[in-house]
Amino acid sequence: MSKQELTNRGGGITKWSFPPVHPEGRKFGLIAAGITAVFAFMAWETLAWPMAGVTLWTLAFFRDPARTTPTAENFVVAPADGLVTLIQQVPPPPELAGPEGLGEDPMTRVSIFMSVFDVHINRAPIAGTIKRVVYIAGKFLNADLDKASEENERQHFLVERSDGVRIGFTQIAGLVARRIMSFVKEGDIVGGGQRVGLIRFGSRVDVYLPAGTSSRIIKGQRCVAGETIIAELGVDNDLRAISH
């Protein structure tokens, strides 16, 4: 997909368009459309109309809209669309810990829950080199639960900037998620906001922020992958918010 540089001074041109469907979802859309066509051909309208709705939902689930990512080097952007359900101080997961990883000290973890209505393409929170990709088989508990970070099927990523700053993030399967996909491998160089993976049918993504960096978002806020700034490296703010 082509890239275009935009600025807050009005530079560049942008316009709305229908978001494309990710290739992973096209086969599901075709299967659903085929079943709909069979029901319609058989004049089974009570089944054809609901199946048409399923077809549209399937295509919408796998939509892959373009995103405009801020390029300031200290910004950490959301890796997932969805609701911020947890912000906690926790030790890094063992798969991302250690001297060549995120260390051993507690750090801020921001958890973003994706419902079945959210875009499920996941994106890199910062630009850098993929240093680790670790897949862990596990359970399929409700992704809203805190223990889902340790017990559910998951896939960890470690990204390192050229200056050595590291960010970890984790794709976590949920109750109905049954496949975690990665578009990148160890050694790949990614840009901030670049597509790195996909989780099918509802799940969660955790982001681990380095010491001295706090979240710029509040629990209960919604994020847009690749666009919402969830933190600024080296900035530790005590934020407050009011829910209306």
| DSSP H or E stretch at residue 41 | helix 23-41
Annotation marks residue 203 as catalytic: yes
Phi then psi dihedrals of residue 108, to 5 deg: -75, 125
Mean pLDDT value across residues 151-174:
90
Which residues, at least 6 apart from 212, have a Cβ–Cβ distance to it below 8 Å?
234, 236
The residue length of the chain stands at 244
CB 236 within 8 A of CB 212: yes
Read off the pLDDT of residues 166-201 as tens digits, 9 standing for 90 and up: 999 999 887 665 678 899 999 999 999 999 999 877
Supply the angle between the helices 45-61 and 23-41 in degrees, to the nearest 10.
170
Radius of gyration of the chain (CA): 19
Higher-confidence residue: 71 or 189?
189
Q: Which among 211, 27, 35, 197 is positioned nearest to 106, based on CA atoms?
A: 211
Position with higher pLDDT, 96 vs 115: 96
CA gap 197, 115 in Å, rounded: 16
Whole-number Å distance between alpha carbons of 64 and 41: 31
The CATH number fitting domain 75-232, selected from 2.60.120, 2.30.30, 2.70.70, 1.10.760: 2.70.70
What pLDDT is stored for residue 12 in this prediction? Answer: 66
pLDDT digits (tens, 9 = 90+) for 3-26: 777 777 776 677 777 778 888 778
Instruction: Report the share of the chain in percent with pLDDT over 90.
Output: 50
pLDDT exceeds 70 at position 145? no
> Model's pTM, two decimal places?
0.85
Is the per-residue pLDDT at 226 higher than 90? yes
What's the mean pLDDT when you consider all of the chain?
87
Tokens of 51: 């199946």
Query: Residues 6 or more apart from 243 whose CB is under 8 A from it?
Result: 220
Question: In this model, does residue 149 exceed pLDDT 70?
Answer: no
pLDDT score at 229: 96
d(CA 78, CA 128): 15
The larger pLDDT score, comparing residue 121 to residue 58, is at: 121
Of the given ranges (60-74, 95-109, 118-132, 204-218), which has the lowest mean pLDDT?
A: 60-74
The pLDDT value recorded for residue 216 is 93
Lowest mean pLDDT segment, chosen from 27-31, 32-36, 123-127: 27-31
Catalytic residue among 203, 214, 215, 243: 203
Alpha carbon distance 85, 90 (integer Å):
15
DSSP letter assigned to residue 20: P
Query: Of all residues in the chain, what percent carry a pLDDT higher than 70?
Result: 90
